[in-house]
Structures are given as structure tokens and as C-alpha cells.
Amino acid sequence: PFAAEYESHSVEAPYNALYDRPAVLDLIGDAAGARVLDAGCGPGIYAAELLNRGAEVTGCDASETMIGLARERTGGKADLRVHDLEEPFTWLEGGSIDLVVNALVYHYLNDRPSFLRECHRVLRPGGALVISTHHPSWDWHRLGGSYFAVEPVTETWSKGWEITAWRMPLSVMTGEFADAGFLIERLVEPQPRPEMAETHPESHARLITNPGFILFRLVRR
């Protein structure tokens, strides 16, 4: 039930469709001919868009149900498999990937350094990792306490979903990137799409004054 509900939510929800997704796709840019790993592909929304842009797509998600939904969405054109992102990408050779996409998944990982090391291994030199995640200031304003706290936080979302995600300051996040051998090419604090002001005015008003997500385009050294 969660996978189907999340698919329906992520297709149209303003934070996904009118905020995160346009910004991530802008950071990806031209993907024609690129070999892309969609790491944490969920129901396959990004995988389908990458295929439409001419990429060769492989993807994974820890949920078998999500992978089923992603296979339906991509029509069998992507190599998709059930896989935990904290485990090695054993089916991928070193230096075989041009781009890794990790959209709104990073904050759920308990062993982020292992994931980053594997991304570094499978990427070709100069290849890119695009990450979108919670903005540290957003978590701090919502949750209170110390901005510098590094801890998992369990919350119940409006739909009744119980979600556990990590909060951490920007210095910890970027330190993890550097330790894994990545350089930050671009850091983006996105603005919502203008149409959100019409469809979800409260969310739009919040996001034009307080960043919700933060995005990085990281380059493999």
C-alpha cells in the first residue's frame, strides 16, 4: 500500500513535481547517450524521464514493489533491480557510469559513506553524482534543538506514514562528499515553480522564503 500511495503522491505533490524534480532535472542537463544509475529509483519517475532524454538507465530500490512500479513506468527499457543502497553495486563495473542520480534518498541512508564510495567506484573519472536532500536549515527550523545535531529523526507525515530520516549540518554533509572523493561543482537551493503559487499557495509562500531542499552536483575526482 505504501508504494502505491507514494507513487500517486510523488507524481503530483508540489514538493516533488513543482520543486525537487525540475531542479534535479536542470542539474542533470543533457543526458543523451549517458549511462545513468538511478540510485533509489522509487516508482521510476526519474528513470522514465531519463529514458525520454536518451539515456541508458539502470536503477535500483530496496522495495520490490517500487521496482515493480518502476518497471511498469519504464516499459522494460531500463535495467531495474531490488537493491539496498548501502550494499555494493556488484552488477556494475568500476568507471562504467556517467551519472548517478540520488533524488530525495540521501537523508534516509544510515551508511552514507559506503554509498558514496560505491558511487565513486562506478563513476568514470569526471562523472557526476546529483543529490537532492533535506536542507539542513529546514530540518533545524522544523525540529528545533541544535543545528549541529547528527541524528535520525522519526516523524509521522500527514498521510500517516512513519518516516525516519537523518538530520545533519551542511558541514557534515559536504564533509562526507569530500571524504568519498567528490568535488562540489554546483550547490543549488531551488525555488518552487511559479505555478505552485496558484495550486498550493501556502507551500509556495513557505518555499520562497525558507529553503526546503538542497541539491548538489558532485564530480568524481
Question: pLDDT tens-digit profile of 135-145?
Answer: 999 999 999 99
Q: What mean pLDDT comes out for the span 71-100?
A: 97
pLDDT at 2 over 60: no
- Binned at pLDDT 50, 70 and 90, residue 12 comes out as confident
pLDDT at position 141: 95
pLDDT at 4 over 90: no
Write phi, then psi, for 106 (nearest 5 degrees): -55, -40
pLDDT at position 9: 59
Answer yes or no: are the C-beta atoms of 59 and 70 closer than 8 Å.
yes
pLDDT at position 160: 81
Tell me which of 161 and 144 has the higher pLDDT: 144
For the ranges 7-16, 139-148, 154-163, the one whose mean pLDDT is highest:
139-148
Q: Which residues of 121-144 are buried (b: 16+ CB within 10 A; e: fewer)?
A: bbbeeebbbbbbbbbbbbbbeeee
